[in-house]
Amino acid sequence: MNWLRAISITVLVLLLVPVIVLLYYGLGPFRNPAGYSTLVFRSIELSLFSSAIAVIVDIVLFTPLAYYLARGRDRVAEALVDIPISVPHPIIGVALLILDSPITPTGKFLLGLGINFFDSILGLVTALVIMSAPIYVKSMQPYFELRDPGPEDFAMGLGASRLRTLFSVVLPDSFDGLSSASLIAMSRALSEFGSISIIAFYVLQYPFKGVSPASVTIYGFFSGAVPGGLYAAVTASAAMILVALPIAIAGHFTRRRGSR
């Protein structure tokens, strides 16, 4: 008897039980039309759109940081990257709210430039970037660490800077790593609730005017803020799982291919 395998499979099943239960009841006994209404699909659409934009921002802004951590071995920076996901997530929402509040100097400045985080797509995406970027960085860093540094050393030996080496030598050959880290970060963004429930409970901009992110809509069903109740929350949760699960699985298999 392989006890290690038996224990591992048992705990894996325990992790999957909540997902299996939601899929069973949401698609079966508890299925409620409100859980797959236009409201829910618009919410999922908003979550997919904002998460995709957040991942694009992650790639553009945080790929150099992941490469720096992989080659620079800066332990302080590595610890700082984890802070946003190490604190209760509503704190990030409160921080963004205060940052852009008219009662603070930073808020007056940002609002004077027309930058509004509250109940806007910009605020939603900003919160998702903050919550998904650490996952993106921590996914890309091992990929960069496992790369053969020989071509990079050669390029720098010819006079290229570390930054130019990243863009001219490393990134053109890093499609698998970028794809895997992006999908994993997108999965994290899709699952976010704490920060966005404060900064972007609704989006009041076209084309999502009056629409909440999917996680907020599900909570609204559960809390009674949105008509539908528990059964609608379970059904909407099952629908969200069916949307998010393929993204997570694709990220896993892309990571394995990138590792090879």
Flag whether 108 is in a domain.
Answer: yes
Structure tokens at 160: 């290229």
Domain count, the chain: 1
Domain membership of residue 183 as a residue range: 45-221+242-259
Of 2-11, 26-35, 167-176, 251-260, minimum mean pLDDT range: 251-260
Flag whether 35 is in a domain.
Answer: no
How many degrees, rounded to 5, is the angle at CA 37 between CA 36 and CA 38?
125
Flag whether 32 is in a domain.
Answer: no
Flag whether 31 is in a domain.
Answer: no
Structure tokens at 251: 């990220």
Flag whether 202 is in a domain.
Answer: yes
pLDDT band at 38 (very low <50, low <70, confident <90, very high): very high
pLDDT band at 251 (very low <50, low <70, confident <90, very high): confident
H-state helical runs in the chain: 3-27, 38-72, 75-81, 83-86, 89-99, 105-112, 121-146, 150-157, 162-165, 175-190, 196-199, 214-223, 229-259
For the segment 43-80, what is each residue's pLDDT rounded down to a tens digit?
999 999 999 999 999 999 999 999 999 988 788 998 89
Flag whether 188 is in a domain.
Answer: yes
CA distance 233 to 218: 5
Flag whether 229 is in a domain.
Answer: no
Flag whether 184 is in a domain.
Answer: yes
pLDDT band at 103 (very low <50, low <70, confident <90, very high): very high
Q: Residue 127 belongs to a domain with what CATH number?
A: 1.10.3720.10
Q: Hunting for tokens 């069973």 — which residue is that?
A: 24
pLDDT at 224: 85
